[in-house]
Amino acid sequence: MTVNGQGISHSRSTVDPAISNFDKLVAETTLLGIGDFEPLDFLVNTAQLEQELSVFTNDWVDYLPRTDRPNNRLGLSLTTLDIEGWDHRSLPSLPEAAQALGKPVGDSAFTKLTPLYDACASLHPLFQEFAPVGRSFFVKCNTGGYFVPHRDSPGFPRREFRLACFIKNAAPYQYDWWMDDKKINIEQGRVYYVNTKKTHRTISWTDDSIHLIMNIPFTVANVSKVIAHLQHRH
């Protein structure tokens, strides 16, 4: 397969020429065919990562807070926009980021590595495999923290795909992740490819439930890497 690194249109009603070639259509079909919540052969050292995160205990900020009721979610950014003063505590929504830049922005634009990334050496091999990664961050849910059923960027063509890793307090009695009303069995520390174009929802039954979300630019090369790193390839 050849790699075409051009950007992808924000419009949901048109197909950008950069993704309409045969190779990228094959890549899209490949992603759709591997499953919706697939384990990769990356296993993060969660004990080391928790120690690295402990330095930032007082830096967690509200993550996409709701105005109608509390949702008990906090976040820290591993990557952010290249804006002076923005760091690991800068965790805007895409509309907020677009307002700050004065133009539309997608997840792939969040390529500035933060001091948090520098400190989390346990994640560097994973990030370097897919570099440059897009918007990547930790989410910490306390008791009752939740995400309502939703889809992330359901239109076509996609600009990114997502990887997730569950770091702390993600056992079945602590944290639920549902895909299309099916509860997912989670291995803590395992990195997963997640098809977030499908309906998913989450809820935490305890405090300090932490997971990592990575937005990976949709390229043939990156899709090929996902296939190469599938835990169950045979």
Query: How do residues 146-182 score in pLDDT, each as one tens digit?
Result: 787 777 776 667 889 999 999 999 998 999 999 888 9
The contacts of residue 2 (CB under 8 Å, 6+ apart) are 23, 220
Provide the domain limits for residue 45: 36-228
Q: Are 158 and 218 in contact (CB under 8 A)?
A: yes
In a domain, 104, yes or no: yes
Tokens matching residue 114: 């933060």
> Which contacts of 183-187 are long-range, i.e. CB under 8 A and separated by 24 or more positions?
184/37, 187/39
Please tell me the distance from the alpha carbon of residue 233 to that of residue 221, in angstroms, as a whole number: 17
pLDDT number for residue 67: 74
pLDDT number for residue 205: 92
Residue with more model confidence, 64 or 75: 75
Domain count for the chain: 1
pTM of the model: 0.86
Residue reference for tokens 């830049």? 101
Average pLDDT over residues 66-82: 87
In a domain, 148, yes or no: yes
In a domain, 15, yes or no: no
Domain harbouring 155, CATH code: 2.60.120.330
In a domain, 1, yes or no: no
Q: Are 77 and 114 in contact (CB under 8 A)?
A: yes
Please tell me the distance from the alpha carbon of residue 213 to that of residue 91, in angstroms, as a whole number: 13
Average pLDDT over residues 96-105: 91
In a domain, 187, yes or no: yes
- Examine the pLDDT at 12 and tell me if it is beyond 50: no
In a domain, 210, yes or no: yes
In a domain, 2, yes or no: no
In a domain, 134, yes or no: yes
State pLDDT tens for residues 120-141.
999 999 999 999 999 999 999 9
State pLDDT tens for residues 198-230.
887 888 899 999 999 999 999 999 999 999 999
Please tell me the distance from the alpha carbon of residue 165 to that of residue 169, in angstroms, as a whole number: 12
Please tell me the distance from the alpha carbon of residue 23 to that of residue 70, in angstroms, as a whole number: 44
